[in-house]
């Protein structure tokens, strides 16, 4: 005879089993496709940072460098090794989306719908495909929202301390989580949950988060606040978008078929009577949306706010379907979501297709199909694919120039690059050719300095000619980098040999600095 107590347990295991299945499926998707294309521009930079662990960097806090160092120590330098942790982070986000639906009273369909919507959204899928700040940033945002939901549901103000710890980890990952913290504070003021501000717990949670940030602040002070300069230049990289365009980008990059779910989630939090205890979460989304539209932020900055909407939306849709007896709707809608994910993912975010096939398809749509994260020109492939190509060709070209130098010049030669992707590629792939480590004026490479380079002989790639001619009396082009499927601004790059510096490189080094 089966005990009645076993039924809730079996229901729980059944619900969580669906969530675990989807989370595991996403994990396997990323791990099985990890080796299909090359190293992404940013992860070459993070690899370089992992060899120079510090309390901070010009354009990111230390967490991602520590993760990269840990992955390399445990698993090695392969693409699969580097992608394990971001893939795990993405899988946990799916699990948390489903668990939020459960906390809101959702059954199996609501939980599965929230998890599936999170799974197929390109803004979540993409950051499991390379090691980046954003994979972990999304995890900490969603985990913080989950804790907030439980705090509101169970009225446990001590959970503000746990919220503070999660926010602190988020601050060590990406400073944009400050926007989430600001939105939480304003939403508290706008809702009955403001009563929490009369207790000590949210203030203690905030102090806890700030403690995590202190080492990064100390690093900023020691280095002259370079991150403030970086953010002041950041807007020049972002494609200008009107408020309407930003909203369209949200719909497209969260998958159009998920629109009814997150709109229903907003309705639940802001309008529905049963959502009254959770009004805070709805206002958080609205405040973040306004902030990011006003700032012309990148469209994916808002992505971590969607799982809490998917969770509530799943509950609303589940109850709507149940009231009308539309049993057919559940498999039909789930199939639409799944098919849209299968169709869109290989074309936009997951490296599944042969690159030749992908280039033919995406090239016909202008490479990025109108969804631009940066002002950089794209060609046949979207940027998140194109930035994985061309690095080894570039290093091989530079190595050919290096090998043609007389032995006495090789002994003193340095390699100067225009950006951190080129520098990271030289550092990572150059060892095979016996190349010296790269130097660059871009972001944290500038702080790492010229590494004792005198400037007597410099091989330069990606640095504007006028900048070279201002620092060297003799500049000659020795070769040109050619690459297929790479970003256009990395193709047809001249490789220069520079000699006779006008002043020692240590003195002219500030001329090469650019934080952006």
Q: What are the DSSP calls for 371-424, one per residue? A: --SSSS---SS-HHHHTTSSHHHHHHHHHHHHHHS-HHHHTTEEEEESSHHHHH
Does residue 478 lie in a domain region? yes
Q: Are 337 and 482 in a shared domain?
A: no
Mean pLDDT by 10 residues, the chain (516 residues): 48 75 97 95 98 97 98 97 97 98 96 98 95 97 98 96 98 97 97 96 97 96 96 75 91 96 98 96 98 91 97 98 94 97 94 93 69 61 94 97 95 96 98 96 97 94 95 96 94 96 93 95
CA–CA separation, 22 and 90 (whole Å): 11
Return all residues near 133 (Cβ < 8 A) that are at least 6 apart. 60, 61, 63, 64, 173, 174
- Mapped onto helix, strand or coil, the DSSP state of residue 499 is strand
CA–CA separation, 101 and 104 (whole Å): 5
* Predicted local confidence at residue 296, as pLDDT: 86
Residue with tokens 């979460």: 281
Q: Are 209 and 335 in a shared domain?
A: yes
DSSP H/E element including 93: helix 79-103
Q: Rg (Cα) of the chain, in Å, rounded?
A: 25
User: Number of helices and strands (H, E) in the chain?
Assistant: 24, 5
* Predicted local confidence at residue 362, as pLDDT: 87
Mean pLDDT computed over every residue of the chain = 93
Q: Terminal CA-to-CA distance of the chain, rounded, Å?
A: 67
Half-sphere exposure of 174 (CA within 13 A, CB side): 16
Does residue 19 lie in a domain region? yes
* Predicted local confidence at residue 9, as pLDDT: 55
Closest CA to 206 of 150, 163, 169: 163
Return all residues near 199 (Cβ < 8 A) that are at least 6 apart. 157
Q: Are 275 and 408 in a shared domain?
A: no
Q: Do residues 470 and 511 lie in contact, with contact meaning Cβ atoms separated by under 8 Å?
A: yes
* Predicted local confidence at residue 110, as pLDDT: 97
Does residue 30 lie in a domain region? yes
CA–CA separation, 220 and 59 (whole Å): 11
Q: Are 373 and 505 in a shared domain?
A: no
CA–CA separation, 478 and 360 (whole Å): 33
Q: Are 280 and 220 in a shared domain?
A: yes
Q: Are 220 and 184 in a shared domain?
A: yes
Does residue 89 lie in a domain region? yes
Q: Which of 297, 332, 348 is the last residue of a domain?
A: 348
Q: Are 84 and 127 in a shared domain?
A: yes
Q: Are 172 and 34 in a shared domain?
A: yes
Q: Do residues 144 and 170 lie in contact, with contact meaning Cβ atoms separated by under 8 Å?
A: yes
* Predicted local confidence at residue 370, as pLDDT: 46
Q: Do residues 436 and 417 lie in contact, with contact meaning Cβ atoms separated by under 8 Å?
A: no
Does residue 318 lie in a domain region? yes
Exposed / middle / buried, residue 233 (Cβ in 10 Å: 0-12, 13-18, 19+)? exposed
Does residue 444 lie in a domain region? yes
Q: Which domain holds residue 291?
A: 6-348
Q: Tell me the C-alpha to C-alpha distance, in Å, between residue 469 and each of 463, 465, 474, 498, 509.
A: 10, 6, 7, 9, 14
Q: Are 465 and 494 in a shared domain?
A: yes
Does residue 119 lie in a domain region? yes
Number of domains within the chain: 3
Q: Are 382 and 440 in a shared domain?
A: no
Q: Are 99 and 204 in a shared domain?
A: yes
CA–CA separation, 369 and 381 (whole Å): 10
Q: Which of 386, 404, 438 is the last residue of a domain?
A: 386
Does residue 1 lie in a domain region? no
Q: Are 73 and 192 in a shared domain?
A: yes
């Amino acid at each position: 005879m089966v005990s009645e107590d076993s039924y809730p347990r079996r229901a729980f295991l059944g619900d969580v089993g669906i969530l675990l299945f989807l989370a595991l499926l996403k994990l396997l998707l990323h791990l099985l496709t990890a080796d299909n294309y090359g190293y992404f521009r940013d992860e070459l930079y993070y690899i370089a940072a992992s060899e120079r662990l510090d309390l901070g960097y010009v354009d990111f806090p230390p967490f991602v460098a520590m993760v990269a160092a840990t992955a390399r120590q445990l698993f090695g330098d392969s693409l699969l090794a580097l992608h394990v942790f971001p893939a795990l982070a993405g899988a946990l986000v799916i699990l948390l989306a489903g668990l939020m639906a459960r906390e809101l009273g959702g059954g199996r369909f609501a939980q599965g719908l929230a998890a599936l919507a999170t799974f197929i959204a390109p803004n979540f899928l993409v950051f499991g495909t390379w090691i980046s700040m954003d994979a972990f940033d999304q995890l900490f945002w969603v985990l913080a929202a989950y804790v907030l939901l439980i705090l509101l549901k169970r009225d446990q103000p001590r959970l503000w301390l746990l919220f503070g710890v999660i926010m602190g980890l988020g601050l060590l990952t990406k400073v944009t989580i400050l926007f989430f913290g600001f939105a939480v504070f304003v939403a508290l003021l706008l809702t009955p949950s403001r009563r929490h501000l009369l207790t000590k717990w949210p203030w203690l949670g905030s102090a806890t988060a700030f403690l995590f940030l202190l080492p990064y602040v100390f690093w900023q002070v020691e280095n002259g606040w370079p991150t403030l300069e970086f953010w002041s230049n950041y807007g020049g990289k972002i494609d200008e978008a009107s408020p309407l365009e930003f909203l369209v980008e949200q719909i497209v990059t969260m998958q159009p078929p998920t629109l009814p779910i997150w709109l229903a989630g907003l309705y639940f939090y802001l309008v529905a009577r049963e959502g009254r205890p959770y009004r805070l979460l709805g206002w958080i989304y609205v405040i973040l949306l306004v902030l990011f539209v006003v700032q012309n932020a990148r469209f994916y900055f808002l992505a971590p706010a969607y799982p809490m909407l998917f969770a509530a939306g799943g509950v609303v849709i589940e109850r709507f379907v149940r009231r009308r007896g539309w049993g057919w709707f559940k498999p039909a809608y789930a199939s639409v979501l799944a098919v849209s994910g299968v169709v869109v993912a290989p074309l936009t975010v997951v490296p599944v297709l042969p690159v030749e096939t992908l280039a033919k398809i995406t090239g016909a749509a202008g490479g990025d199909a109108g969804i631009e994260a940066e002002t950089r020109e794209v060609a046949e492939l979207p940027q998140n694919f194109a930035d994985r190509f061309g690095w080894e060709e570039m290093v091989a070209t530079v190595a050919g120039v290096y090998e043609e130098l007389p032995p006495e010049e090789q002994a003193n030669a340095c390699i100067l690059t225009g950006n951190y992707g080129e520098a990271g590629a030289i550092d990572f792939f150059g060892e095979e050719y016996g190349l010296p480590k790269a130097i660059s004026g871009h972001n944290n490479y500038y702080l790492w300095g010229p590494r004792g380079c005198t400037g007597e002989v410099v091989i330069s790639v990606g640095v504007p000619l006028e900048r070279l001619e201002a620092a060297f009396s003799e500049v000659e082009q020795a070769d040109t980098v050619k690459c297929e499927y790479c970003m256009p601004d990395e193709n047809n790059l001249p490789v220069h040999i520079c000699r006779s510096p006008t002043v020692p490189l240590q003195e002219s080094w500030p001329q090469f600095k650019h934080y952006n």
